[in-house]
Amino acid sequence: SRRTGGALLGDRARMKTDPDDRGVFVRSMAARDRLGGLSDDSVAAVVLLRAVYDLVIVETVGVGQSEADISLVADTVVLCIQPASGDSLQFMKAGVMELPDIIVVTKADMTEVARRAASEVAGALSLAGSASAGWTVPVIRLSAATGEGLDAFEAAVAAHGAFLDAGDRRAAQRATQEDKWVEEAVRVRFGTHGLARARKFQLRGQGPFAREAELALKLTSRQD
């Protein structure tokens, strides 16, 4: 809420978790007033959690043209599309179709409708191109009710993980994510003008936090 700052995170309330399972940690964080789909704190939390846990799953708010922050933290981006939801026009938007590494069409038990949605997505992908060079984005029809497509989805996630691990792609991707994350942090704090000035420094620090601190100090001194 922009007025009160409060939020009711209904998805978290509907989740069924086993209190005896000590190997799972669930944390709900509202997107707040950011348009990217993740709050600033969420990005930092994901980076911390992936250093501690074997698997981190991040669910963002509904994705449109500007909700692309998930690409700053995720190794594998999965776009879930609900058939018969009027999203055909959304498929044509490059801002959406350039993000995913895997696309899942849910409610596959709706047979013909799900097939049509998958076909439309495949057509849009041919225009947008893959999220990663050398990787072909699979389109999987999946049903939580019948279990259809679950094995194919698991195999696609494993295949993309193997693709990232080949040739140090994962490390290179995370390094790019860190650079973008720092730029976004500077932009949020100092605006687009401050980010433009920061880029002129062409700093090469020892990591994202060192670079951010050095950029902030330089910008603050310039402002003073």
**Residues contacting 13, CB < 8 A, separation 6+:** none
Q: Going by DSSP bridges, is the β-strand pair 139-141/78-81 parallel, antiparallel, or unpaired? A: unpaired
- DSSP E strands in the chain: the ranges are 78-81, 102-105, 139-141
Token pair of 155 as six digits: 């195999």
Q: Going by DSSP bridges, is the β-strand pair 139-141/102-105 parallel, antiparallel, or unpaired? A: parallel
Residue with tokens 């990591």: 207
SS3 126: helix
User: Domain residue spans in the chain?
Assistant: 1-74, 75-148, 173-223
**Residues contacting 139, CB < 8 A, separation 6+:** 103, 105, 118, 121, 122, 125
- Encode pLDDT of 21-52 as tens digits: 778 887 777 766 666 667 777 888 888 888 88
pLDDT at 142: 92
SS3 55: coil
- Encode pLDDT of 58-117 as tens digits: 888 766 655 677 888 899 999 888 887 665 555 555 567 778 899 998 888 888 888 888
Exposure string of 10-35, with b = 16+ CB inside 10 Å and e = fewer, is eeeeeeeeeeeeeeeeeeebbbeebe
